[in-house]
Structure formats: structure tokens, C-alpha cells
Amino acid sequence: MKPLIQKLTETFSPSGYETAIREAIRAEVEALADEIRTDPLGSLIVRKGTKGKNGKRIMIAAHMDEIGLIATHVDDNGFVRFAGIGGIRPQALTGSRVRFVNGVPGVIGTDRLADLTKAPALEQCFIDVGASSKKDCPVKVGDVCGFERPFLDLGGRLVAKSMDDRIGCAVAIEALRALKETPNEVYFVFTTQEEVGVRGATASAFGVDPDVGLAVDVTGTGDTPKGSKMEVGLGKGPAVKVKDAGMLADPRVVEWMIRTAEKAKIPYQREVLEGGSTDARAIQLTRAGVPAGCLSIPTRYVHTPSEMVDYSDVQNAVKLLAALLSKPVNI
């Protein structure tokens, strides 16, 4: 999977600009799909199987977009001020390299800070694209950029700038590849604009109208020095979400996931995430309501240019997702 993960994470596609990553994913899944289409908000919808007598229509959502920045002002010296697209952590910005949709590269700097012990606010940050004046700056207000950082293979651990949620996309692709037959009608949906309010999943869930829904997304960890008080850690298996800030997972879905993992002897963790949510929230609230949950990939340094996952967690997530989809769902 490592070449696939590198390909997906190094593809540039912030929220609202998912064309490049959609085409990269389409190239991977087209030969595996029974049906493939793109909806009006740009989400890629891939169907596998038909709904049998005891089958269900299942939606698997992994978002394609990544966090980014949008230019809000260019000053007389050609420095670009910006706002965030999605949740941006200012403490991780200084010195980061970015690339705009039009190909222009740049580096993030900050104003002189009175207190170097505190992270700068976003309004104290700027992007330097090497311009000397507003006139020769190749960036205009409204131009969008994403972080530029190469994929890093540390053996058992992998680092990249958009594991959130290209690692979920990779898990979905590999589960689709492993799913030789299923009694269910499974829709693998690679969604847009999750980072700005689960917008793509909101529309695609309405269109798919699933019986059951699962998001595949990252979650934080509590295994770093003086880190969050959280049970999830790298290398202990994928996590079964019980709750996050946006949803309570359906207990029947949680039980289905845990039962399947234990039967297949796949390691797993139980997850309660106090901040953040996923496409599962949108699926859960679509139409008259859908039983929904989330398969989470433990990830360190979420929403920074260097997000880290454990390769065994990723592989076990593929095994668990394929096992969940290959049998009738009784919930």
C-alpha cells in the first residue's frame, strides 16, 4: 500500500479543489467498480455489488479534501495574508512550505512576536512567494494553497501532509480491491469539502440513501509525551468510534464492528474523541436518519503538515473494513 499512500498524500487538493485527487482515485478504482460516477458537489461514488435478499445498502465515506489556506490580502511588498480552509493550527505554520493552485510556491513567515513562547495568531502570519511588490506578486485574493511536504517512510510509521484523510481513501480503495463478493450494495464515496463542514457527504448521503453508513477517517492519539488524555495510540489497531464532538455512533454499528474484529482476530481500539467529527455525522442525519459509525485510523499531529500513522493499523483497517462488508449486516 505504501506507493498508493504516497501517491494520494502528495496529490494537491484542498477543500473545493478536489479534481486532482478525484482523478487519482478514479484511476485506482475504475476497474474494480460495478458503477462509478461523480455527483454535483464533486464526490466520487463507486458502487460494488447489488443488494441481495439479506443485504443492505452501505455507504463508506472517506473524504478526499485536505486543509489549506486562502489569500485574503496582498500588501505593497508582495506578502500574502491568508485565512484557513478547515482547521489550521498556527503553531505548526512557521517555516511551512505551500503551493498555490496556480503552481506558485511559497513559505510561511510571521510578524515580529512580542512573546516568543506563544504561537502566532493567523492574522500574524503571511506567505512569502518571493515577490518584491504587490504588482509582481503572482498570487491574487481568493487564490488557494495547500501544504507541500514529501511522504516519509519510517518503516513501521508513515508521515505525510494529508493523511487526513488520504489514509482513509487508501483504506477504502484497498478494501474495495479485497472485496471479491458481497451480499450488500456497497457505495464507496470519496467525498469533498469535509474539512469545511462535511458538505460533500451531506449531499452524497442524501443521494445514496444508505441503510447503514461508515466513515473512514483519522482520529487523534494520546500516546505522545504529555499528550491528550485519550486511550487511542499508534500500533494498537484501528479504532471503533463510540463518540466524537459531532455524533454518537449507533450502538448497533459499534457492536457490529467490534464483533467482526474479534471474530477475525483483528486488533482494535475503542475511541472517544472530544473534539472534531467526520462524514459519519452527515450520513447519520440524512433523510429520516441512518445508523452510522466510523472506522478511525490513529494519527499523530493531525492538521499539521506532518501527520503520522502506523502501517500495521492501516493494514488492519483494510482487513476489518473488508470483513465488515463481505457478510450480511445484522443490526
Q: Are 311 and 157 in contact (CB under 8 A)?
A: yes
294: nearest Cα among 221, 241, 231, 237: 241
User: Of the residues 194, 195, 271, 307, which is catalytic?
Assistant: 194
Q: How deeply is 292 buried, as exposed, middle or buried, from its count of CB atoms within 10 A (0-12, 13-18, 19+)?
A: buried
- What's the start-to-end Cα distance of the chain, in Å? 31
Instruction: Report the alpha-carbon distance of residue 180 to residue 24 in Å, rounded.
Output: 22
Contacts 24+ apart (CB under 8 A), 19-27: 21/64, 21/65, 21/166, 21/169, 21/190, 22/64, 22/190, 25/64, 25/169, 25/173, 25/190
- Residue 51, CA distances (Å) to 18, 68, 189, 283, 322 in order: 30, 38, 17, 19, 16
For 38, the grid coordinates are 461523480
CA–CA–CA angle 24, 27, 29 (5° rounding): 110
Active site residue 28: no
**Is the peptide bond between 111 and the residue preceding it cis, with omega within 30 degrees of 0?**
no
Output the CA torsion 296→156→301→190 (10° steps).
-40
How is residue 90 annotated by DSSP? G
Instruction: Report the alpha-carbon distance of residue 328 to residue 52 in Å, rounded.
Output: 9
**Residues with active-site annotation:** 194
